Amino acid sequence: MSMNAQGRPTRAVPSAAAAAPTHTGHRALQLEVALLFDEGDFEGTGVDLPEPAGTASRLGDLAADEAPTLPGLAEPEAMRHYVRLSQKNYAIDMGIFPLGSCTMKHNPRLNEKVARMPGFADIHPLQPQSTVQGALELIAQLAGWLKELTGMPAVAMSPKAGAHGELCGMMAIKAALIARGEAETRTRVLVPESAHGTNPATAVQCGFTVDKLPASTDGRVDIAAFREKLGDDVAGIMVTNPNTCGLFERDIREMADLVHEAGGYFYCDGANFNAIAGKVRPGDLGIDAMHINLHKTFSTPHGGGGPGSGPTVLSEALAPYAPLPFVVEEEGRFRLVEDASEAEDAFGRMTAFHGQMGMFVRALTYMLSHGGDGIARAAEDAVLNANYVLARLSAEMSPAFDGHCMHEALFSDAFLKGTGVGTIDFAKAMIDEGFHPMTMYFPLVVPGAMLIEPTESESKRSLDEFCDSLLALAKDAKSGEAEKFKSAPRLAPRRRLDETQAARRPVLRWQPEAAAAMAAE
């Protein structure tokens, strides 16, 4: 058994891995996987090449004395390793992925087909622009759709995730404040306490201080508290709409007017745009900057740190500060503006090249195949599905707020009170039932929060299966079956991990057994 430097095993103990132990640790045709380092051997390689005859090495002193500690595996062995691992993964293509805030929707295969066309897939960002006119036109067209859908005059296409888009928007605000000579005095940014963690992190990264906005009892920004916090040291606000409680901020126009009167800017976190795309234009709400997570609202497979793309729309006031590069059209030709001499107020650049091309292709394919009416319909269906889940689950679970929701349904742990079952136990029991858990303990303003976002692409049958299962689990919890929850998941390839240990003493590297032996002594 291999141990890591901390003396913990690096592969599962077979009999502990399975509820019904087998000699091998495999369970039916679900095969156990060891670490690649434990499977391969360090002397071997996947390919045997003959020693080159009659050629002296030119490496001299630089030649390594020992083989690198990399496992050597033949192609079929390497293939099996990764395919077995992939079968342990859960994916939107296998079932509902109800993670609130993440918008895990079906990714149409058409997007993939178009993204793989050689004219998009096999080009290089340093190719002469005359040879990639189609790709540049695609970026310009997508920018056009984003401006149209948001009612905003400008968009920076290069940010590579939602958080990166936030950074882009806040850097544009900072640049505008510097131009006004107020960067030294306007240092405070107001952020609701229900905000996604990236919002305060971005504000701090840009050198601002964060001032928390309290929520009112109906889960929205407390407008009276908001008024009181405004002042001439306020740089701006960062508000999510619909917010992270899945509710529309009804006072958003008033908030925009108030922050503008106070001399600040309005950053809107657009991660929840899926609920309102084609229905509400953020530009009409008085927003100055908003990122759009192409990988949420406009499909594209994402998750596990996978690819992201966060184009950021900007108002008239912030447009001059948009980062380089951007695409311009001149007499039917497309050109990337790369040089600051052509855009003197640009605050700089966010990425080496021009953004996430593969995702641009997927997003535009999605938009063109849905059309304007289809995008609005998707938003309506997303909201309808969330309200269906909210209504059905309210029979046994505790909605965090009264009334309808937007695209996500939020519950507190009140229904588990006195059962000995916590939010985490409930989530783990869902895994045994075949469902990926919802987002848990977020937003922070709701005790033991469970945030469910079904998205528009789930059928009624799939929503019913999901709801039936959660209702049954809620009943089990209330009828005193706490033990079943505490020991969940029982049927997953791995049982419950020690998350505290994992966070406090993360073991991120495999260590050879020699090192492990030393650590154990």
Ligand X SMILES: *Cc1c(COP(=O)(O)O)cnc(C)c1O
Among 4, 101, 150, 312, binds ligand X (CB under 6 A): 101
Instruction: Name the CA dihedral angle for 468, 469, 470, 472, rounded to a multiple of 10 degrees.
Output: 80
Looking at 157-165, 339-347, 449-457, 480-488, which segment touches ligand X (CB under 6 A)? 157-165
Amino acid identity, residue 184?
E
Residue 364's closest CA among 291, 297, 293, 298? 298
- In 3D space, the residue among 52, 245, 274 whose CA is nearest the CA of residue 162 turns out to be 274
Map residue 329 onto helix, strand or coil. Answer: strand
Instruction: Single out the residue of 111, 198, 419, 455 in contact with ligand X (rule: CB under 6 A).
Output: 198
Nearer to ligand X, 240 or 299 (CB): 240
Going residue by residue from 311 to 350, which x/- string records binding to ligand X, judged by CB under 6 A?
Answer: ----------------------------------------
Give CA–CA dist 427/439, Å, rounded: 9
Quote the least distance from Cβ 447 to ligand X, whole Å: 20
Q: How far is the CB of 162 from ligand X (least distance, A)?
A: 2
**Exposed, middle or buried: residue 467 (CB in 10 Å: 0-12, 13-18, 19+)?**
buried
With CB under 6 A as the contact rule, which of the stretches 158-166, 319-327, 349-357, 468-476 interacts with ligand X?
A: 158-166
Judged by CB under 6 A, does residue 160 bind ligand X?
A: no
Tell me which stretch binds ligand X (CB under 6 A): 134-142, 160-168, 404-412, 419-427: 160-168
CB of 384 to ligand X, least distance (A): 20
User: Which position has the token pair 């909210």?
Assistant: 390
Residue nearest to ligand X (CB): 162
What is the per-residue binding string for ligand X in 162-191, x denoting contact by CB under 6 A? xx----------------------------
CB of 403 to ligand X, least distance (A): 21
CB of 290 to ligand X, least distance (A): 11
- Cβ distance to ligand X smaller for residue 71 or 100: 100
Query: Could you say which of 161, 245, 343, 361 contacts ligand X (CB under 6 A)?
Result: 161
Interacting span for ligand X (CB under 6 A) from 150-158, 159-167, 169-177, 474-482:
159-167
Considering only residues 43 through 62, tell me which ones interact with ligand X, judged by CB under 6 A.
none
Give least dist CB 131 to ligand X, A. 31
DSSP codes joined into one string, 230-284: --TTEEEEEEESS-TTS---TTHHHHHHHHHHTT-EEEEE-TTGGGTTTT--GGG
Residue 200: count of CB within 10 angstroms of its CB:
20
Nearer to ligand X among residue 163 and residue 237 (C-beta): 163
Q: Looking at 118-126, 161-169, 355-363, 371-379, which segment touches ligand X (CB under 6 A)?
A: 161-169
Nearer to ligand X, 308 or 454 (CB): 308
- Which of 195/463 has CB closer to ligand X? 195
In the complex with ligand X, the residue whose CB is nearer, 419 or 439, is: 439
Return the bridge partners of 30, or none.
Answer: 27
Q: Which of 111, 241, 274, 293 binds ligand X (CB under 6 A)?
A: 293
Q: Is 293 exposed, middle or buried (0-12, 13-18, 19+ CB in 10 A)?
A: buried
Residues 267 and 206: their CA atoms lie apart, in Å, by 13
By CB under 6 A, name the one of 269, 413, 425, 453 that touches ligand X. 269
Q: Which is nearer to ligand X, 269 or 456 (CB)?
A: 269
Residue 493 Cα distances to 40, 89, 426, angstroms? 22, 10, 18
Segment 211 to 250, residues that bind ligand X, using CB under 6 A: 240, 244
List, as own/partner pairs, every contact residues 474-478 make where C-beta atoms lie below 8 angstroms and the sequence separation is at least 24, other chains included. Answer: 474/393, 474/396, 474/397, 474/415, 474/426, 475/396, 476/429, 477/415, 477/416, 477/419, 477/421, 477/426, 478/396, 478/415, 478/419
For residue 17 the two structure tokens come to: 């891995």
Q: Which of 71, 308, 443, 448 lies at the binding interface for ligand X (CB under 6 A)?
A: 308
**Least Å from the CB of residue 450 to ligand X:** 16
Letter for the amino acid at 458? E
Sole binder of ligand X in the list 271, 290, 375, 390 (CB under 6 A)? 271
62 close to 91: Cβ distance less than 8 angstroms:
no
Query: What amino acid occupies position 21?
Result: P
Give burial (CB, 10 Å; 0-12/13-18/19+) of 61: exposed
Q: State the nearest-atom distance from the C-beta of 101 to ligand X, in Å.
A: 4
The rounded Cα 413 to chain-centroid distance in angstroms is 24
Q: Are 477 and 416 in contact (CB under 8 A)?
A: yes
- Contact criterion met (CB below 8 Å) for 48 and 105: no
List of residues contacting ligand X (CB under 6 A)? 101, 161-163, 196, 198, 240, 244, 269, 271, 293, 308, 310
